[in-house]
């Protein structure tokens, strides 16, 4: 188990003080590097007065999703989504949008969609009701003020929670891709460029979920396959 959740709310408290009257949300993405499937993002917010009650709850286990097993991520995602105090949203950008916009801009689009989904679920205007902590580098075009934090998924409880929702949603999508396009192994590698995935690309050619702007996919494009 990681350190108790209240020890990882310093950034949240700073933003809450700097933006009184707004709810603080964490925003993170999953799936920038794979060769196939959408990039996903999630936004998660908790009221400031809920922080004191988080110790001893599943929230105390929230961490960077990459440090957690699939079973733990799934359990925590369920706990986050079912917590009545929590506001959350998920957004994605498709492989086609990634090809059209590039992966950075598509990731920012997914993050904007996640913030808007959270605001719509909460019934709170995103531009006036929230301020966001974003993992990594600054993101342009979010519907609310934001602060970027390097390694935010390990330093911020809410960004860690967002990383879990983004990862579990993307993994579920990859399982569906595996059923729709058997032979590529999406259930195993989740679209990343593993040896098995590259061998399947060479054998089968890309499927409609592949990101044709990514070099390994371009290299595997078969004659006659629709571009």
pLDDT, one tens digit for every residue, the chain (227 residues): 444 334 478 899 899 999 999 999 999 999 999 999 999 999 999 887 776 677 678 888 888 898 999 999 999 999 999 999 899 999 999 999 999 999 999 999 999 999 999 999 999 999 999 999 999 999 989 999 999 999 888 889 999 999 999 999 999 999 999 999 999 999 999 999 999 999 999 999 999 999 999 999 998 875 555 54
pLDDT of res. 6: 43
Every domain of the chain and the residues it spans: 5-179, 181-219
Q: Which CATH class name applies to 5-179?
A: alpha beta
pLDDT of res. 8: 77
Residue 206 φ then ψ, to 5°: -70, 155
pLDDT of res. 225: 52
The C-alpha angle 166, 164, 41, rounded to 5 degrees, equals 20
Helix, strand or coil, per DSSP, at residue 103? helix
Q: Which residues partner with 40 through β-bridges? A: 30, 92
**Helices first, then strands: H and E counts in the chain:** 10, 5
Rounded-to-integer distance, Cα 195 and Cα 37, Å:
18
Closest CA to 164 of 77, 71, 87, 37: 77
User: What b/e sequence results for 132-163 when a residue is b if at least 16 CB atoms lie within 10 Å of its CB, and e otherwise?
Assistant: bbbbbeebeebbbebbebeebbbbbbbbbbbb
């Amino acid at each position: 188990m990681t350190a108790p959740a209240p020890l990882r709310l310093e950034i949240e408290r700073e933003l809450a003080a700097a933006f009184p009257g707004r709810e603080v949300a964490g925003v993170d993405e999953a799936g920038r590097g794979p060769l196939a499937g959408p990039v996903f993002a999630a936004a998660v917010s908790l009221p400031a007065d809920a922080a004191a009650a988080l110790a001893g709850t599943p929230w105390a286990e929230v961490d960077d999703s990459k440090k957690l097993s699939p079973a733990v991520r799934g359990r925590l995602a369920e706990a986050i989504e079912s917590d009545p105090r929590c506001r959350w949203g998920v957004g994605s950008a498709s492989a086609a949008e990634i090809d059209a916009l590039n992966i950075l801009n598509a990731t920012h689009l997914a993050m904007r969609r996640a913030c808007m989904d959270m605001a719509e679920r909460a019934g709170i205007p995103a531009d006036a009701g929230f301020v966001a902590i974003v993992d990594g580098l600054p993101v342009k075009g979010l519907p609310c003020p934001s602060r970027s934090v390097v390694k935010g998924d390990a330093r911020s409880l809410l960004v860690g929670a967002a990383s879990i929702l983004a990862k579990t949603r993307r993994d579920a999508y990859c399982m569906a891709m595996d059923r729709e396009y058997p032979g590529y192994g999406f259930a195993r590698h989740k679209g990343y460029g593993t040896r098995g995935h590259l061998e399947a690309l060479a054998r089968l050619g890309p499927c409609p979920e592949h990101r044709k702007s990514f070099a390994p996919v371009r290299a595997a494009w078969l004659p006659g396959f629709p571009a």
